[in-house]
Amino acid sequence: MTALSVSTSSAASLRADALVIGVAKGPKGLVVAPGAEAVTEAFEGKLAEVLATLGATGAEGETVKLPAPAGLKAALVLAVGLGDAAEEGYDAETLRRAAGVAARALAGSKKVALTLAGESAEEAEAVALGALLGSYSFSAYRSGGKEPVGELIVLTTRKGSKEAKAAVERATAVGEEMNRARDLVNTPPNDLNPKIFAAIAQAAGKEHGLKVEVLDEKALAKGGFGGLLGVGNGSANPPRLVKVAYTHPKAKATLAFVGKGITYDSGGISLKPAGHNETMKCDMAGAAAVFAAVVAAKRLGLAVNVTGWLALAENMPSGSATRPGDVLRMYGGKTVEVLNTDAEGRLVLADAIVRAGEENPDVIVDVATLTGAMVLALGNRTFGVMSNSEELRERLHVTAGEVGEQSWPMPLPAELVKGMTESTIADLANMGERMGGGLVAGLFLKEFVAEGIDWAHLDIAGPAFHESAPYGYTPKGGTASAVRTLVRFAQQTAAGDKA
């Protein structure tokens, strides 16, 4: 595991395998970002000139390596591009991405120091989190390859060093839990079924002092959780509903996070077409995000109660699988006609949302890789935000932007409900109009939210699993989408913002 620390040592005196500096595109060419003064001095004031000669432009994500000259204790200098030069410091997301690029470029190094942070704790936290996320590597099933950076050191000035240390500790807690979520998403489905996921949650609960309750298939049947059971019927690996609860003695608000946890989604009887099955291990990314967020809240000691509900099932075709046309009686009593077994995420979430609502939280936020329609609407890097409260929807959208996650507020048009309520034999159908399918799914979930509870739905189908080349601090594979948004939302609530 990569270690993360903060230091006020001079960049020139620190012994490390590599020293990371920032460069940017200025109006008259390449400029060196603040923090690298000692490095510029070691190059006798010609650092920008040398880098430009090697083709450096300062473009975002660009990297150039230089052997360190006399005057530096580090063996190597890595210049990472920040994009356009900033007059008054670089925003947190720019620093996060640059640190992530640097950490990935220096894989295999034992010790790396980063000069990207200035005096503020916010900058130190951004650099630390980006570097920790960028150093991530999922190698459990591979032999060979470079190890991630062993130790990352964030250099900062002595002024504000105490605050910087606390900021780096926060980044460590959030980053490690995000990487835990990434591991879960990347784990192949033969090694991560609902029972195993539940056991992982129980182990984390024991480690961090969280209360974990697991409902197995017998308890689900006794309790009437028809959605979870209906989706899990076709699999040899039965479903689970896992409650992971963090409470704080000074909490004045309670948040419920609900995560879709389909550990593998074949589509069931409504089998997915060829080419759509290979990445369906990622269909539990919502549950992974919720799990990580609750553990992070505990590690940060936030003065807010946070309960995570992990709705875990494996959606498989078999002789016992739910068929199109079957009717399920959901937890709480509503009946649903299943028109498409590949619209299964909303079924497990509905059960969990009703159960979460019984504890009367101030807010329910569900997170799910729910619909391909949302990917068509918003692309691969942006998640949709829907809510029964315009204020909550906007707050979550703004919160996501603050932590560097791309989101977009989406409506819940009342006229789209009709298509789901026209079932002749059940209260609802799990499918409605084809156009606006992502919104239809949100409207379906809204039907299961208890009266008087503010609720929001994050459809992370696009950004939860990245299939292209890595960029910034985002690797190929699981990304831990929505974890930062949930954690920041919990931090805001703990600070007294309206829940």
180 is catalytic: no
Q: Are strands 76-84 and 111-114 parallel, antiparallel or unpaired?
A: unpaired
Name the token pair of 407.
Answer: 């989101």
Helices in 81-157 by DSSP H: which ranges?
A: 92-105, 121-134
**Would you put residue 242 in left (φ > 0), alpha (ψ -120 to 50) or beta?**
beta
Going by C-alpha positions, the residue among 398, 384, 389, 383 that lies closest to residue 362 is 389
65 is catalytic: no
Q: Which of 272, 329, 334, 476 is catalytic?
A: 272
Helices in 329-436 by DSSP H: which ranges?
A: 345-357, 372-378, 390-402
In angstroms, the CA 426 to CA 422 distance is 9
In angstroms, the CA 240 to CA 141 distance is 26
In angstroms, the CA 469 to CA 304 distance is 38
Q: Which of 165, 182, 243, 346 is catalytic?
A: 346
Q: Are strands 477-478 and 335-337 parallel, antiparallel or unpaired?
A: unpaired
Q: Which amino acid is at 319?
A: G
In angstroms, the CA 262 to CA 348 distance is 9
In angstroms, the CA 163 to CA 167 distance is 6
What separation in angstroms does the CA of 390 have from each of 38, 342, 385, 395, 456?
50, 29, 10, 8, 10
What separation in angstroms does the CA of 187 have from each of 181, 193, 288?
10, 10, 11
**What is the SS3 assignment for 157?**
coil
Residues composing the chain: 499
In angstroms, the CA 107 to CA 242 distance is 36
In angstroms, the CA 295 to CA 292 distance is 5
Q: Which residue has the tokens 């009703």?
A: 354
Catalytic residues, which ones? Answer: 272, 346
